[in-house]
Amino acid sequence: MGYYQMNEKLAIEYLVEHGVFDSATGLTAKEVGDGNLNLVFIVKDEATENSVVLKQALPYVRVVGESWPLSIERTIVEANALEIYNNLTPNYVPKLIHRNDQLSLIVMEDLSHLELMRYGMIKMQKYPSFPEHASTFLADTLFYTSDMYLSSEEKKKLVAKFINIELCKITEDLIFTDPYHDADTNNINPRLRPYLEEVFWKKTDLWREVSKLKYKFMTEAQSLIHGDLHTGSIFAGENETKIFDAEFAFMGPAAFDVGKIIGNIFINYISWSGKDEDPERIKDYRSYLLETVIRLHRFFERKFIENWKKDALNISARAEGYRDDFMNNLFTDTIGFCGAVMIRRTHGLAQNLDVTGIEDLQKRRDVQVKLLELGEKLIMNRHSFNNLEEVTNLIKENI
Ligand code: ADP
Ligand code: MG
Ligand code: MG
Ligand code: MG
C-alpha cells in the first residue's frame, strides 16, 4: 500500500490491523510530536495501560511546512539504525516493535514515563546514571560499526545501507555552512544581528576551520553515527537513559556524536548567565554539568579502548601507537564538532529552548555571544587541548 498520512484514528486502526493491539476497544491515541520533522502518536490501551509510539515521516519539514519538501525515506534509515542499536545496545534505546517502509513509519516502545533531557536540564534536573549509560551507548555503537571491528566487506555494506542524502545535506548546510553567512535559513535574534554582521561573519579563519570539519563530516565514513544526538534526542530518568530519533544516522565521523552531546550540555551551562535564578543553585548545577561532561567523556574513552583491546579484528589495530593516534584525533574532532554545534544553535534554524527560553532579547543576545565566542575558541584551538578538563576550565574561566 502506498503512503498515506496517519491521524489518531488511522493510527489506532493500523496498529490493530497489524496485531500490535488485539482490538480497538479502549484504545486512545494522541499526537505528541514536538520535533522538527515528524508525526509521533502515543497509542494506549486504557484498560491494560499498554502503550506504544508510532512515528511517521511527513513528506516535508514539519517546522517549516509544505514549502520545504523532504523525502519520507528517512524512516527507513531510522528503522535500520534502531535495529542495529537494538542489537548492540538494547538497554539504551527504545525497542523497535514494527516497521513499515512504504508508510514510512516505525512502532516502538513508549518512553513517556521518562522526561526529555533538554526539558529536565532547563529545570536543573540531575541524571546520575547518564555518563555511565551514554558512554556505553557511544563506545559500543561507534566501535562495533567501525573498520576496527567489522570486516572490510561488512563495513562497506553498512556504508551503502546508510545513504542518507537529504538529512546529511541538512546537517552540512545548517551546522557547517549557514551560520557562517547571512543565510535565509538562519533564525536570528534581532539584538544579535549587529554582532553577526560586524564581527562574527567577518571571521574568515573560523569559516576556514569549520569547512575542514564539514569536509570531515562529508567524507569520513568511520562509524554508524546517530547524527542528531542532542539533549532533545535523549529521554532520561534517575536510572534510565534512552537515545532515540536516529533518522540522521549514517556512516560518518564518530566524533560528531560525542561532540554534539557535549556541545548541548555546554549550551545549557552557558544559558544560565541569562536567567534569573539563585546564583548558588546555578553554581551547583554548573559544577554538576561539567562533572557530567568529564565523566561521560572519560568513560567513553575508557570503554572504546576496552572494546578495541578486546574485539579489534583489524590487524592494523595492533600497530604500535596507532590506537593512541586514533584516540587523539577522535578527541580533537570531538572538540571541533562540539564548538560547531554551540555556534549553530545560537542563530541557525533549530535552536535550544535552554537559550530561546530567555525572553529578554538583550540577555539572550549576551548568552548567544558567549556561545559564539566559546564555540569559536573550541574550534580554533581544538588541536591544542590535551584533555577535556582543559576545555571545561576554559568554559569556567569565561563564564
Ligand atoms: P522528530 O524527528 O520530529 O524530532 P522525535 O523522534 O524527536 O521526532 O519525536 C518527537 C517527540 O515525540 C519527542 O520529543 C518525544 O516527546 C516524543 N517521542 C518520540 N519518541 C517517543 C517514544 N519512543 N516514547 C515517548 N515519546 C516519544
Ligand atoms: Mg527529534
Ligand atoms: Mg524532538
Ligand atoms: Mg528527528
Does residue 135 lie in a domain region?
yes
pLDDT attached to residue 1 = 66
- Among 64, 88, 109, the domain boundary falls at 109
Q: Do 92 and 50 reside in the same domain of the chain?
A: yes
Distance 81 CA to ligand 3 centre (A): 17
Q: How far is the CA of 114 from the centre of ligand 3 (A)?
A: 14
In a domain, 1, yes or no: no
Mutate to test the pocket of ligand 1, among 244, 248, 351 (most ligand atoms within 8 A of CB): 244
Is the ipTM, as predicted for this complex, more than 0.90?
Answer: yes
Answer yes or no: are the C-beta atoms of 27 and 43 closer than 8 Å.
yes
Q: Are residues 151 and 289 located together in one domain of the fold? A: yes
pLDDT tens, N- to C-terminus, the chain (399 residues): 689 999 999 999 999 999 999 999 999 999 998 878 899 999 999 999 999 999 999 999 888 888 989 989 999 999 999 999 999 999 999 999 999 999 999 999 999 999 999 999 999 999 999 999 999 999 999 999 999 999 999 999 999 999 999 999 999 999 999 999 999 999 999 999 999 999 999 999 999 999 999 999 999 999 999 999 999 999 999 999 999 999 999 999 999 999 999 999 999 999 999 999 999 999 999 999 999 999 999 999 999 999 999 999 999 999 999 999 999 999 999 999 999 999 999 998 888 999 999 999 999 999 999 999 999 999 999 999 999 999 999 999 999
Final residue of a structural domain among 109, 138, 169: 109
Is residue 3 a part of any domain in this protein?
A: no
pLDDT of residue 153: 98
Q: Is there a single domain that holds both residue 351 and residue 212? A: yes
Expressed as residue numbers, the domain containing 25 is 8-109
| Same domain, residue pair 100 and 121 | no
Gap from CA of 233 to ligand 3 centroid (Å): 6
pLDDT (tens digit, 9 = 90+) per residue, 235-283? 999 999 999 999 999 999 999 999 999 999 999 999 999 999 999 999 9
pLDDT of residue 209: 98
pLDDT of res. 363: 97
89 and 175 co-located in one domain: no
Q: What is the 3-state secondary structure (H, E, C) of the chain?
A: CCCCCCCHHHHHHHHHHCCCCCCCCCEEEEECCCCCCEEEEEEEECCCCCEEEEEEECCEECCCEEEEECCCCHHHHHHHHHHHHHHHCHHHCCCEEEEECCCCEEEEECCCCCEEHHHHHHCCCCCCCHHHHHHHHHHHHHHHCCCCCCCHHHHHHHHHHCCCHHHHHHHHHHCCCHHHCCCCCCCCCCCCHHHHHHCHHHCHHHHHHHHHHHHHHHHCCCEEECCCCCHHHEEECCCCEEECCCCCCEEECHHHHHHHHHHHHHHHHHHHHHCCCCHHHHHHHHHHHHHHHHHHHHHHHHHHHHHHHHHCCCHHHHCCCHHHHHHHHHHHHHHHHHHHHHHHHHHCCCCCHHHHCCCCHHHHHHHHHHHHHHHHHHHHCCCCCCCHHHHHHHHHHHC
Q: Which residue puts its alpha carbon closest to atom 6 of ligand 1?
A: 245
**37 CA distance to ligand 3 centroid (A)?**
8
Ligand 1: nearest atom to the Cα of 109: 23
Signed CA dihedral, 6, 12, 13, 18: sign only: positive
My answer on whether 89 and 193 are in the same domain is no
Out of 34, 36, 40, mutate this one to test ligand 1's pocket (max ligand atoms within 8 Å of CB): namely 40
- Residue 158 has which C-alpha cell? 553498512
* 219 Cα: distance to centroid of ligand 1 (angstroms): 29
How far away, in angstroms, is 55 Cα from ligand 1 center?
Answer: 8
Q: 109, 130, 163 — which closes off a domain?
A: 109
Ion ligand 2 nearby residues (CB, 5 A): 35, 245
Asked if 347 and 259 sit in the same domain, the reply is yes
Claim to verify: residue 362 and residue 273 sit in the same structural domain: yes
Ligand with the closest atom to the CA of 226: 4
Residue 2, domain member (yes or no): no
The verdict on 122 and 105 lying in the same domain is no
241 CA distance to ligand 2 middle (Å): 15
Q: What is the number of structural domains in the chain? A: 2
CA distance readout (Å), 272 to 117, 347, 348, 369: 16, 18, 20, 14
Look at residue 236 and tell me if it is in a domain: yes
Indicate which CATH number applies to the domain containing 94: 3.30.200.20
Kindly report the protein residue whose alpha carbon is nearest to atom 17 of ligand 1. 33
**167 in the same domain as 19:** no
Co-location of 17 and 158 in the same domain = no
Ligand 1 site: residues with CB under 6 angstroms? 32-38, 40, 53, 55, 94, 108-112, 116, 232, 244-245, 247
Question: What's this model's pTM, rounded to 2 decimal places?
Answer: 0.97
Ligand with minimal distance to 40 CA? 1
